[in-house]
A and B are shown apart, each in its own frame.
Chain A
């Protein structure tokens, strides 16, 4: 049974932009929380293209491993990640005019999810997570049932809704690795960098010496 704390009694459906998948520590945490069952994660073919195009520029020391990283993301979702049909004219025509041309696919994909909600109650949440919020006409999108938030805000919301499950998922993932790729302090700093101040403080507190 779905138990999404940010949308009690409903589903939290998140469409992520490439800019939140590219930073490795941020995307690790997003997948920790998805795998814990706190929300469903989706993206589009345009996001995959942008991710693969930008990976070598963003990770010059691992420039050829973008496809491998993407494959790991896809497998984590059991290959149920890709929203299709968003380029349909009937969907695209509903995307607010003020949405930037290169980001229209994100709102259109969110509208595909809104269309699929047979239960139109506010228990369900459709959220676009992107750091380019100024390109996504948040106020206009909200009128269509789509929220647009930055990654840090989204992580803070999940932490606030369920601190135990959020922190538990992150610490378990780190503990499962014999040689974690980064220290706990680095991860806390990365969360702060992405604006997830509440989640960072909660994680820091949970990891403090003497805590269980």
Chain B
């Protein structure tokens, strides 16, 4: 039938994938859905490193929410696996303790991290490597003792030092 043929060939109506989300945000905030849609496209489709980072963080966060809500073990694969790492992996890369990495994340010193509802932090590997290059500058081989010798740290006996330290503590 001609009518049916026409219907089959008609181009499928494309729905903006952000539309339902924009509608929900719009109804909660009073912002026009169209504006929200536009903002989402702008932020999440940017071809910049920042845009990519935002997309990866969002993906990871959504996976965390969904997996925890349903008790699903998350398969780590592809881009997400390679870019986002746990605090334990970041700690190993940096030679730091895990709580120290967590502190840097919690205080926004190590940026680009996500925290799941269960409190597990994940951080982009590139952010960790960038931190490493900025903060772990190669130092001279001089040991603490060699530096101490140059600065006269051993002129006083340990017993004299202890007496003075104890005296200061008493006078606090």
Which residues of A are interface residues toward B (Cβ below 8 A)?
1-2, 11, 13, 19, 22-28, 31, 40, 42, 54, 57-62, 65, 68-69, 71-73, 75-76, 78-80, 83-85, 102, 112-119, 124, 126, 131-132, 173-174, 176-177, 179-182, 186, 189-190, 193-194
Contact = CB atoms under 8 A, between A and B. Distances in A.
Interface of B: 87, 92, 94-103, 106-107, 109, 119-121, 135-137, 139-140, 142-156, 158-159, 161-162, 164-165, 168-169, 172
A26 B120 contact: no
A54 B172 CA distance: 12
Given A23-B162, A116-B106, A118-B98, A58 B148 contact: no
Contacts of B161: 22-24, 58-59
Contacts of A23: 158, 161-162, 165
A127 B125 CA distance: 30
B152 A116 contact: no
B143 A173 contact: yes
A119 B107 CA distance: 19
B98 A117 contact: yes
Given A73-B144, A78-B95, A84-B107, A59 B169 contact: no
A26 B148 CA distance: 12
B119 A118 contact: yes
Contact of A69 (B87, B107, B151): B151
A61 B87 CA distance: 45
B99 A116 contact: yes
B104 to A, nearest CB: 9
A54 B142 CA distance: 25
A113 B99 contact: yes
B144 A72 contact: yes
13 contacts: A24-B156, A40-B96, A59-B152, A69-B151, A69-B153, A84-B109, A116-B99, A118-B119, A177-B146, A177-B149, A181-B148, A193-B162, A194-B162
